[in-house]
Each structure stands twice: as structure tokens, then as C-alpha cells.
Amino acid sequence: MDGSFCPAILQKKFLKVVTVPTSADRAKPKSILITGGAGFIGSHLVDRLALDESNRLVVIDNLRRGRLTNLEQVRGRFEFIQGDICDRNLLERAMQGIDLVYHLAAQSNVLGAVTDLDHSFRANVVGTFEVLRAATNAGVRRLVFTSSREVYGESPSLPVAETAPIRPKNAYGASKAAGEMYCRTFSSAAFQIAVLRLANVFGARDFDRVIPIFVERALRGLPLTLYGGKQILDFIWIDIVVEALLRAGNDGPPIGPVNVGSGQPTDLPALANRILSESRSSSQLLVVPARDVEVSRFVADTTLMKQLLGIQAAEDPLRQLGMLIESAAKQEFATGDQPTWQSA
């Protein structure tokens, strides 16, 4: 399996595209469904989609990881459904009249997927199948699926192109690879699907991943733990990812898979030291044995991201880190409390 999603002739056609549509090119109002829309990436996407008041927005989230506080600033601009994407009846009702689906709902934490295999399989594989089937039955025109760099596993060479073999190292990567295969199965002339493989996304509202963990611990003066200390990863700012999602949602032929990353290597000790410097923290670095389940080396080949989506990340992928630390320092750490408007 070579990771290819579009036929070779289609990929060749895309490589010749000169003018790439932007998020401003959405010509007419759409009804848009966002699964996982109260989560980290999903809520930032809803923020951007809500800027176009002509669009009808529907958000589905079971609030297992998502938080309604993430959507407070666009309250009243969307319909919220608290529910599970494995609920077939709920999906069938929600999909009525929908033109475009952004499918982000997932067990999105590698270690969480490993420790709860049943949930990760149900959410990421069964849930994706149910979303695809409901979208097909409802006549949805387009779906954007957020896959992950985890589908590649531990690649022997960097950067990693979309043609690299699919060799997931953990249950999370396997579940995303399965989701991609179901996308391939459901894709048709009437139902166009775009697949984006996201690198390590960072930004406000995230938690339980390396950058928010390091920032929180640095601000509290606690040690920053490096598992192995030799990891090299690709970090990408949330706003760039949202722009990629918006462009992938524009009408047109299938897109994918496309890496969405900075294309720049960041080693974790350097990341940790930069966070310590920008937060003026006296926290110590603690190096412990590596966790075998985690991919230790990944940098995205972003050639297709530039050619198909017209997006090029900044040379310094961490340039927003100082702003993120400053914001985190000004507010209390999230408690997980939900506002009272969560669902009718």
C-alpha cells in the first residue's frame, strides 16, 4: 500500500494548477457540518466558518474531549448537537440538507488511543464509516477528512512525502489509516473527498499534547519531561491548518492525501529550551526512557500542500510560541467546566 489516494492522472492534473482557490472563493452559501467542532482544531475551524454569516453551520461533538467554552465567542452562529458520531439516527438527521462535511471527530491522542483501544477503534474507524455512509445517503457533495502523520509510522528518511508507505506504529495511526481507506471506498464523482494528513498542530485551546504540557509545566516551575530526548517533529500553527481545511473544502475534484505541516524539523530538547527561555522559567529538563509507541522522527514533505492548496508555512514554525505562552500565563488553566447552553 503506497498511501496514494487520488489516481496518478488526477494527481498529475493537480500539479499543473496555477490559481489555487482561497477561503474567500466560496461562491455561494453552504450548509456545513463539523464533527468534533468543539475540540481544539474543530473550534478554530468553526470560528473561521462563522465569519461568513451566509453559511449554515451544524456542530456535532460528544464533549468527551471537546469543550463548549471553545465555541463561546461564536455562540448563536451555529446549531450544536451533543452526540456521538456512531449514532446512526443522529447522523442521518444532522446530515439533511448538508453540502459540506468537515470530519474531525476522533480519539486524537496517541497515548489515549493505546490505553483505550475499544474507544479509539469505535470513534476513529466505526465513527468515520458512519459519517461517510450518512453523508453519502444524504447526498453531501464534499467531505474533508483529517488524517494524521501517524499513518506513516517511523519513516526511515525525512522529509516524508505522501507516497511513503503506510506503516502505522500505534493504534491511533492504524485507525487513521483505516479511515483513509474508507474515504477511498466512498469517494465518487458525486461525493468528493479531501484527505489531509496533519503534522503536530499547536495553538490555543489544546491540552494533553507536548507543547501545552511543556508550557503549563514551565509556567508552574515543574520539570519538563523528555521521553528519550531525541525526537524530531514537525509543528504547525493552528491558523495554517484551518486555512488548509477551508481550501480543501472548496468545490472541485478529490484532494489527497496531502501533508499539512511546516516542513521544518524541530527537536524536542530545542523546543523545551525555547519554551523555558520565552517563559523565563527555571524548570529543569528531565530525560527518561523513550516510549516505544510514539513516533520519534517526522518532518512533512509539503510540496503538495504548496501546489494543491497554495499554502506555505513560515520559516520559523514556532514563531507564535511566545504569544501562546503569554496568553497561557494570563489565564487560569482550563478546568473543563461546561457552560449552561450545552444542548437542548
Instruction: Check the CA dihedral 14-243-133-27 and report its sign.
Output: negative
**Phi and psi at residue 34, to the nearest 5°:** -120, 110
Any alpha helices (H) in 84-170, and if so which ranges?
88-94, 110-115, 117-121, 127-138
Q: Which helix (H) or strand (E) holds 83?
A: none
DSSP assignments along 47-82, one per residue = HHHTTSTTSEEEEEE-SSS--GGGGGGGTTSSEEEE
Q: Which of the following is catalytic: 102, 152, 172, 182?
A: 172
- The answer for residues whose C-beta is within 8 angstroms of residue 282's C-beta and 6 or more apart is 221
How far apart (Å, rounded) are the C-alpha atoms in residues 128 and 131?
A: 5
488511543: which residue's cell? 113
How far apart (Å, rounded) are the C-alpha atoms in residues 8 and 15?
A: 11
Answer yes or no: are the C-beta atoms of 166 and 1 closer than 8 Å.
yes
Q: At what angle do helices 238-248 and 40-49 cross, to 10 degrees?
A: 60
Q: What is the DSSP letter of 225?
A: E
Report the b/e string of 91-119 with b at 16+ CB within 10 A.
beebbeebbbbbbbbbbbbbebbeeeeee
Q: Is 102 a catalytic residue?
A: no
Q: Which residues are catalytic?
A: 172
